[in-house]
Amino acid sequence: MTTLTIELPDTLWQQTQQVGLSPQKLEHLIIQFVQLSVQKWPQQPKLEGRRFAQQLIQQNRALFEELAQL
């Protein structure tokens, strides 16, 4: 397994703490997001960054709605 360090802005970290999102759950959600992104990536034509992010959010709306409820 490879280790990846992610620096979250302090305000985002505080929000995760306020909603009771444990580091383990956050790790799980990030892994899930990356897995979904990798599965979709080969199917995507080259897109400009903002358009790619919008399309990724649309395709993974259920995941983002789950994250928003945490």
Domain parsing of the chain, residue ranges: 24-34+45-70
pLDDT, one tens digit per residue, over 20-57 is: 989 899 888 888 888 888 877 666 566 677 777 777 77
DSSP category for residue 69: H
Locate the DSSP E strands across the chain.
Answer: none
CA-atom Rg of the chain in angstroms: 14
How far is the CA of 28 from the CAs of 7, 36, 42, 43, 48, in angstroms? 16, 12, 23, 24, 28
Q: For residues 6-31, give the mean pLDDT.
A: 89
Helix (H), strand (E) at residue 2:
none
The pTM of the whole model exceeds 0.75: no
Residue-level pLDDT at 56: 78
